[in-house]
Amino acid sequence: MDDDCCVDGIVSQFFLDTCQRRFRVNEIEISALFDCACVTNPHLTDDVEFIVTPLTTGSVAEFYIDPILSCIGDTDVMFYPSDQLAIPVGHSPPTQLPVAEFGIRVVVHEIIDSEFPGYVYLRSSYLLEKSTVNGKYVVRNCRPKHSYVTYDPGDRRDDIHGPAYVLQFELLPDMTNRYFAKRDSSMDRVYCVRCLLWPSQAADWPTRQRNNGWPDSATIDGVVSNGCDVVHVAHRLCRDDEWEAKYQWRLSFSRAEIVLLNSWTQVQQIMYHMLRVFLKSGATVETNDSGAKTLSNYNI
């Protein structure tokens, strides 16, 4: 027993000593990757009416440890336009919007529930325009009652994985090893519509009973104040339906996950990393009747 405890202590100390704090991808480098992906340049110019803002998500944004064996490979980037906004259905039109994220004219889409939890529709409701007098947004006109929103990616040859369009690319030499495991990497690009408010579908989350004091009230406030995003993907049971596949969206809480995982201690992040590596090996992961994995990173 003493020998076992000694080995456990050595292994634990090894993980603590080798999982150092890693470099983080900054906005400039993500913008560079974004430009390489042939997506609208995220910087405002005089000849465009909207900008596209990239948001790094997934493992690249969630992990602050740098283990010897990394489970970080591809880069997940969500991008949202400055002329689109989602709000909970029935919510009053906003009069103030973040200057860096939204333009002069913004189309507002109401979030409508579907029969599947977390999956919604977007109904285009009205146009907001920024006043040149006081800088506040006012409603200029209303849209048809049943103007549901879809997303047309255009003529793309990328691989599609859920809501993401996967782009294979080669990293710049100075970015290799600092942030990614290999030069030949990939980027999952997910188009989304920004929602500045915490959605009613998750209204109970801030006040849930928590037995272990995590997340604390400050972290919960940080999550809720960030709102969420809406990504274009249909529920697996709706993907063969022509209308549902085109008009169904899903609430995305990637922003919340980044805040939550970054609030973890080093030991908690190490354990999460070890579980991901174990899962990635696929040795014990079964599949259900539909062929989908019964255990995923989402479950972990």
Of the candidate ranges 110-114, 172-176, 220-224, the one whose mean pLDDT is the lowest: 172-176
| pLDDT for res 281 | 75
Residue 181: pLDDT over 50: no
Residue 244 lies in a domain: yes
Burial class of residue 219, CB neighbours in 10 A (0-12, 13-18, 19+): middle
Distance of CA 162 to the CA centre of its chain: 13
What's the rounded Cα separation, in Å, for the pair 274 and 11? 13
Residues facing residue 141 across a β-bridge: 127
What's the rounded Cα separation, in Å, for the pair 235 and 181? 32
Query: 């990939």: which residue's tokens?
Result: 186
Residue 2: pLDDT over 70: no
Residue 130's φ and ψ, nearest 5 degrees, are -80, 130
Buried (b) or exposed (e) across 61-75, using 16+ Cβ within 10 A? bbbbbbbeebbbebb
Residues in the chain: 300
Residue 252: pLDDT over 90: yes
What's the rounded Cα separation, in Å, for the pair 114 and 232? 14
How does residue 43 score in pLDDT terms, banded at 50, 70 and 90? very low
Predicted confidence (pLDDT) per residue in 264-279, tens digit: 999 999 988 888 888 8
Residue 128 in tokens: 């907001």
Mapped onto helix, strand or coil, the DSSP state of residue 179 is coil
Residue 289 lies in a domain: no
Residue 74 lies in a domain: yes
Question: HEC string of 43-58?
Answer: CCCCCCCCCEEEEEEC
Predicted confidence (pLDDT) per residue in 59-90, tens digit: 888 888 888 777 666 778 899 999 999 999 99
Residue 108 makes CB contacts below 8 A (sequence gap 6+) with 85, 86, 87, 93, 94, 124, 125, 126, 127, 128
| pLDDT for res 241 | 93
Of the candidate ranges 30-34, 195-199, 245-249, 283-287, the one whose mean pLDDT is the lowest: 30-34
Residue 291 lies in a domain: no
> Model's pTM, two decimal places?
0.80
Total number of domains in the chain: 1
CA distances from 293 to 56, 237, 279 (A): 25, 16, 10
| pLDDT for res 169 | 61
Q: Which of 219, 261, 283 is nearest to 65 (CA)?
A: 261
Residue 209 lies in a domain: yes
Residue 93 lies in a domain: yes
Predicted confidence (pLDDT) per residue in 10-36, tens digit: 888 888 888 877 665 555 555 555 554
Average confidence (pLDDT) over 127-140: 92
Average confidence (pLDDT) over 133-139: 92
| pLDDT for res 200 | 93
What's the rounded Cα separation, in Å, for the pair 31 and 14? 36
Range of the domain at 276: 2-281
Q: Round the average pLDDT of the chain to a whole number and report it.
A: 81
Identity of the residue numbered 181? A
First CA to last CA across the chain, in angstroms? 30
Average confidence (pLDDT) over 188-214: 93
